[in-house]
Structure 1
Amino acid sequence: MKVKGVRFLLIGIECSRNKGTAAILKSTVQTLKNYFENALFKAVTPWPNRDKLNCKGIEFSDDLLSKLRLFKIRKESDDFDIVIDLHGDTISEDYGILTVFGFFYNIVSYKLLAKKAYVIYAQSLGPFNNPISRLLAKFCLNKVDLLIIREKITENYLKMLGIRNYFLGADPAFLLKTASKENIKEILKNEDIRASQGSIIGINVSQHIYDLLKDAGRHMDYIMMNAKLIDKLIETYDVNILLIPHVLNNVHDDYSIAKKVYSKIKNKNLVNVIEGDYTPEEVKGIIGLCDLFIGARMHAVIASTSQCIPSVGIAYSHKMHGIIGELLGLDEYIIDIDDLNYDILHEKTMKAWENRERIKKHLEKVIPEVKRKALKNGELVRELCDSLKIT
C-alpha cells in the first residue's frame, strides 16, 4: 500500500549547473514517487530561481536556515513532514570541519526544534579525525531516523564512531534516466559534432582536482598530462575524443579546465569540447556515446558505468574508491589523486582500453544489483513513514 500526500523537504542539493547533484536530486524524487502517491517535493537550494528551470515538478526555495531563522523553524516547518538530506559527501572533514558543524546545525534545526523525521539518504560520510567532529558526528548520526549509506568505506567510519543502526544502499544517480537518442543527435548537431565511424573516448576533467593539485603546485601537470594522454590515444588508436564537463559554475568550472587541456592538444581535429549547459539526462546521453570513459567527477563515472561503459576514475576522496572501486569491482581502474601522474594515467587508460570488452561484461552483471540497491533506498523511506504514521 502506497502512502499518500507526504511532503518531502530535500536539503543539501542544487539542480542546475552541477550535473552530479542534479542527478542525485532527480533520481531521488523519481524513486520516492515509486513508493508515495501524490507526494510533494520542496528542494532547498542556494539558487532556487535558476534550479526550478532545470528540474520540473519540484518546488524550490532558498535555505530556510541561511537567514539565521533558527528559532522560527518550528513555525516554518508546517510545510513539510520529513527531511531528506542529500548532501552526498560533505558530512566529512574532507571539506573542512565547518561542514560537520553545518550538519549539527541541520540536526538541531530540523530534528530537535522542528521535530521532523530526518533521513540521511545514500551518502558517503567521514572521515572524522578531529575529536570535536567525531563527537558532533556521533551525536547527530544517533539522532537521525534513517541512515542510508552508499559504500563500505563509510561503513568502517560509522563503526569507528560506534554507529550500528544504518543500511547499505547505493547512490540514487545509478537510476538516472538517459535522454533520448533523438535528443542527443540534436545536441551533437548544435555542437557541430559530426557522427563518426570510429571509437569515442570521453574524458571529464575537473576544476576541483585542478584546484587540489594547485595547492601542491601540480595544477599545470594536470593539464599537460591530460593533453599528452589525449594525443597518445589518438595516435595509438585513431579514436575521437569528447571532453565532457560535469560541473559548470563559478567555483568549480570543468569547462574552463577542458578548454585549458584542449589548448595544449596537438591533434585537435579529433577532439571536441562539449560547449553547452545540458540536463543531467542529456549529459548522461552524451557520455553514453563513448566506448571508454575517464572521469574526475564521481557522478560522471556513475553516468558511464550505469550504462556499462568501461571507465577509469580519478579519486580525491573515498567515495570513488568505495562506489566505483569496491561496489562495482573496478578498483584496479581507480587512480588516487596522491598517485596521479602521466605514467599511471596512461597505464590505467591503456589497460582499460585493452580490457574494455571484459569490463563491459562485468558491469552488465553487477549494475542491475546496484540499481536494485538504489531502489531499496525509497522502500526504506516508505517503511519509515509507515512506522511513524507519516501520511
Structure 2
Amino acid sequence: MNERPMFILAGNGPYENRGCEAIVRGTVKILRNHYKDPSFLCLSHFQNHEQFEKQIIKEYDSEVIHRETNRNKKMFSPEWACQFIQRKFSEKKYMRSVYKELFPAINEAEAVLSVGGDNYSLDYGIPRAFTGLDDLVLENKKPMIIWGASVGPFDRVPEYEKYMKKHLQRVNGIFVRESATIEYLEKIGVKDNIYKTADPAFLMDPQEPQPKIKIEEESIGINLSPLMAKYVGDKSLESWINIAAGVLEEVIKRTENKLYLIPHVTIPISNDYLFLKQVKEKIKDSEERTVLIPPIYNASETKWIISKMKVFAGARTHSTIAALSSNVPTLSFGYSVKAKGINKDIFGHDNYCMNPEKLSSKTVADKIENILKESDEIRSHLKISIPKIKNKALLAGQGLQKITE
C-alpha cells in the first residue's frame, strides 16, 4: 500500500444531486478512518462543462480533486440495450474515450470505487457506462469495487441478467448498502465477493448553513421529485404537479405544522426546486403554511435543514437517508426496491415506505398523521438503530483494506 494512498471515485453524478455529494462525503470519511492521509480523484459524469467548473469552485475539501468523463448520453437509451444483447460486441475503444481521464491516474490508485448508489440497475437504462468502467479497471489489474450500492434487479431482460451475473462475479468487491440487493444477488448466484455495508451517506455530517437560516420547530419536511411523474396518475408531469398540490393541501388541512419543501436534486434534467415551485403556486394560502427552500445549499447544509424537521417525507433516496441518519421519523416514497431494503434494515419492516402508484392526497396524509402520532416512538428506535447502521457503513473500510493489502 502507498504511504499516502489515492482512491479514484468514479461514475458519480454532479453535486447538484445532493445524494451524489453525500456519497462522496461519507466515502471520504470512511477511507480517512482506515487509511493514512488518503487523497481522492472524483471522475464524474456531468451534463455540461459549466456544471463541472461550478463543482470545482464549490469543492471545500482540498484532498478531493474533480475530473469529468466524456460521456455520450446515448449509452443509456433503450436502443442500446437491444443492440448490446443482440451484438454482444466489445466497446473498449469507446469506453476508453469516455474514461480517458482515468488512465493518467490509475497506476497510482490504490483502488477504483464505482460510486453513485443505484447505477447498476435498469432504473436509468442499461448500465453500459458502469460495466464498461469495471472492464477498463480490471484490464489494468487494479481492484474494482462497486461501492455502497444497490444492484439490480435485471430480470426484466433475462439475457442481460445472465451477462450481469458473470460480470458482477468478476469485480473484486460489491459493497452492498441494503438487504434487498443481497437477497437478489444471492438468488442469481453472486455470493463470494459481497460485503454487507450501509450507504456511505449515513456518515455525512450536517453543517449549519451560512448565513444562518431559521427553521420553525415541529415542522414537516417534504421532498417531491419530477421523476415520480413516471409512477403517478396518467404519468404526465402536469398531472403529477396537480396530485402533489392536492397532497400538500391535505397535509396542511389535517395538521397544524408548517411545511418546508426541500429540493435535493437540482440538475437541469430533473429539478426538484422548479417542480416544488410549480406545486407551491397551486396551493391555497401557500405563503402562510409552506416554505420553499432555495437550491443554494450543499448536501451537508441540506441535511442540517432536514435534521430540524419533526417528520420528513421524501422521494429522493438520499433525502430520506439524510432524515433517517438524523433520527427524523421518515416516510419514503419508494419507486424501487432500495427504499424498502433500507427501511427493512433500519426498522425490520417497510411500513414507512409508500409505493408512488398508491399515492393520493388521502393515503399520504394518513401516513404522515400516523408518523406524527408515533414520532416519539420512531425517534427512540432510530436513536438505537442508526448508530448500528453508521457503524456498518464505517466498517466497509475494513473490507476494502482486505482487498487492497
Alignment TM-score > 0.5, same fold:
yes
- What secondary structure does 1:331 align onto? coil
Could you list the per-position Cα deviations for residues 4-38 of structure 1 after superposition, in whole angstroms to 9, with x for gaps in the alignment? 32221111213420001110011101210111112
1:108 Cα offset (Å): 1.7
Q: 1:236 to 1:212 in 2, by over 3 A?
A: closer
- What secondary structure does 1:139 align onto? helix
Could you list the per-position Cα deviations for residues 316-346 of structure 1 after superposition, in whole angstroms to 9, with x for gaps in the alignment? 1111110124434451111012222222212
Query: Hey, what does 2:38 align to over in structure 1?
Result: 39
Query: Is residue 14–residue 45 contact of structure 2 (8 Å, CA) maintained in 1?
Result: no
- What secondary structure does 1:14 align onto? coil
* 1:271 partner amino acid: T
Query: Hey, what does 1:230 align to over in structure 2?
Result: 248
Number of aligned residues: 372
After TM superposition, list the pairs within 5 Å mapping 1:279-358 onto structure 2. 279-329=298-348, 331-358=350-377
1:304 Cα offset (Å): 0.6
Q: 1:154 to 1:195 in 2, by over 3 A?
A: closer
Query: Hey, what does 2:222 align to over in structure 1?
Result: 203
- 2-structure distance, mates of 1:76, 1:64: 16
1:50 aligns with 2:49: no
1:195 Cα offset (Å): 5.0
Could you list the per-position Cα deviations for residues 334-364 of structure 1 after superposition, in whole angstroms to 9, with x for gaps in the alignment? 1012222222212211111111111111111
- 1-structure distance, mates of 2:321, 2:277: 23
Query: Hey, what does 1:16 align to over in structure 2?
Result: 15
Query: Hey, what does 1:7 align to over in structure 2?
Result: 6
1:235 Cα offset (Å): 3.3
- 2-structure distance, mates of 1:64, 1:236: 49
1:281 Cα offset (Å): 0.5
After TM superposition, list the pairs within 5 Å mapping 1:1-391 onto structure 2. 4-47=3-46, 48-55=52-59, 56-57=61-62, 58-63=64-69, 68=94, 70=96, 77-96=106-125, 98-99=126-127, 101-112=128-139, 114-129=140-155, 130-165=157-192, 166-180=194-208, 183=209, 186-188=211-213, 196=216, 199-213=218-232, 216-217=234-235, 219-268=237-286, 269-329=288-348, 331-386=350-405
TM-score, structure 1 length as denominator?
A: 0.88
Query: Is residue 114–residue 130 contact of structure 2 (8 Å, CA) maintained in 1?
Result: no
Uncovered stretches (5+) of structure 2, i.e. residues with no partner: 47-51, 73-92
Query: Hey, what does 2:87 align to over in structure 1?
Result: none
- What secondary structure does 2:303 align onto? helix
Percent of aligned pairs with the same amino acid: 27
Taking only aligned residues, the RMSD between alpha carbons, in angstroms, comes to 2.3
Q: 1:202 to 1:27 in 2, by over 3 A?
A: same
- What secondary structure does 1:61 align onto? strand
* 1:54 partner amino acid: K
1:76 Cα offset (Å): 5.9
TM-score, structure 2 length as denominator?
A: 0.85
1:233 Cα offset (Å): 3.0
- 2-structure distance, mates of 1:62, 1:317: 28
Query: Is residue 95–residue 129 contact of structure 2 (8 Å, CA) maintained in 1?
Result: no
Q: 1:199 to 1:327 in 2, by over 3 A?
A: closer
Could you list the per-position Cα deviations for residues 134-178 of structure 1 after superposition, in whole angstroms to 9, with x for gaps in the alignment? 122112211111221011111121112211121111001000101
Query: Is residue 148–residue 168 contact of structure 1 (8 Å, CA) maintained in 2?
Result: yes
Query: Hey, what does 2:83 align to over in structure 1?
Result: none
Query: Is residue 41–residue 65 contact of structure 2 (8 Å, CA) maintained in 1?
Result: yes
Query: Is residue 23–residue 116 contact of structure 2 (8 Å, CA) maintained in 1?
Result: no
Could you list the per-position Cα deviations for residues 172-201 of structure 1 after superposition, in whole angstroms to 9, with x for gaps in the alignment? 100010113xx36x342xxxxx554x5210
Moved more, 29-38 or 66-75: 66-75
Could you list the per-position Cα deviations for residues 285-343 of structure 1 after superposition, in whole angstroms to 9, with x for gaps in the alignment? 11112101010111001101111111111011111110124434451111012222222
Query: Is residue 151–residue 327 contact of structure 1 (8 Å, CA) maintained in 2?
Result: no
Moved more, 69-78 or 373-382: 69-78
- 2-structure distance, mates of 1:78, 1:69: 18
